[in-house]
Structure 1
């Protein structure tokens, strides 16, 4: 599975909001674009998708912009990626036959391995909230490490 540019940008934008949460009040798309060096028109589309998913709220008019709709600890990376890219899967291969009736030269075994890879990816991204990433970015928590099984 690949994290799309859209998914990466969504995470960067929300991390920026979380890093500046103490400032209070909404942050304009322009400010988010400047802080993250992301293209503003693309960022506007992404923030609309995040708003539709209930991850951010917007305020119109002077002093308007976006705020996180939930506490950073309640927003997981998996929520963000799913909101802009759809379900986290390795591919769209369908469900394998599990009753031994696989009639495609055993290919159902591969389907199950792909499904499990997607599940591992979801679990991994479920392990990081915006709060935990903010803490790491601020140097308050250790850098992520891959734990070998």
Structure 2
């Protein structure tokens, strides 16, 4: 699991801010990054079989195929199905950014989803609207900052 906390990516199972989880990313995001690094490091032009990658990462082949499918749909990986088939990067590792992996695995929907509870706390509509707008603005701005950071981070930089 990867957690985002005010501009930093932190690995671990728990991270709280006043007792609340801030942002939670799918475990498969980290695994997807390593899949791409494995594909980038391979020698030759032959595709890599999923079972070889799953063995190296220590995950089940069926689970890994779900990740690979998302990477293919996200345009980051190409797959060929034949006796000599397998998986290859869709473009050079230098042209793949963390945002590409994030969108492939997490999707492009915003993680900011408020329940609009201010109306249950404040009797004035104007006051509750102001609080909700401020909260949404803060979370939306934080998410945008996170996405911008990922968009500026080429995957190859992880290996430097």
State the alpha-carbon separation in 2 of the partners of residues 87 and 63 from structure 1. Answer: 33
Residue in 2 that maps onto 1:146: none
The question of whether the paired residues in 2 share the 8 Å contact of 1:50 and 1:80 is answered with: yes
Given the alignment of the two structures, is residue 11 of structure 1 paired with residue 11 of structure 2, yes or no?
A: no
1:38-53 → structure 2 map (5 Å cutoff): 38-53=59-74
Distance 1:7 1:80, change over 3 A: same
Residue in 2 that maps onto 1:75: 96
Question: Alpha carbon RMSD of aligned pairs, Å?
Answer: 2.1
The question of whether the paired residues in 1 share the 8 Å contact of 2:112 and 2:136 is answered with: no
Distance 1:126 1:88, change over 3 A: farther
State the alpha-carbon separation in 2 of the partners of residues 102 and 23 from structure 1. Answer: 63
The question of whether the paired residues in 2 share the 8 Å contact of 1:26 and 1:66 is answered with: yes
1:1-149 → structure 2 map (5 Å cutoff): 1-20=23-42, 22-87=43-108, 89-93=110-114, 103-104=127-128, 105-133=130-158, 136=159, 141=160
- Tell me by how many angstroms 1:130 deviates: 2.2
After TM superposition, which residue ranges in structure 1, 4 or more long, deviate above 6 angstroms?
none
The question of whether the paired residues in 1 share the 8 Å contact of 2:112 and 2:139 is answered with: yes
Query: Scaled by the length of structure 1, what TM-score is found?
Result: 0.76
Query: Scaled by the length of structure 2, what TM-score is found?
Result: 0.71
> Which 5+ residue runs of structure 2 have no aligned equivalent?
1-22, 116-124
Q: Deviations over 1:57-76 (max 9, x none)?
A: 11112221000111111111
Ranked by relative contact order (alpha carbons within 8 Å, sequence separation 6 or more), the top structure is: 1
Structure ranking higher in strand proportion? 2
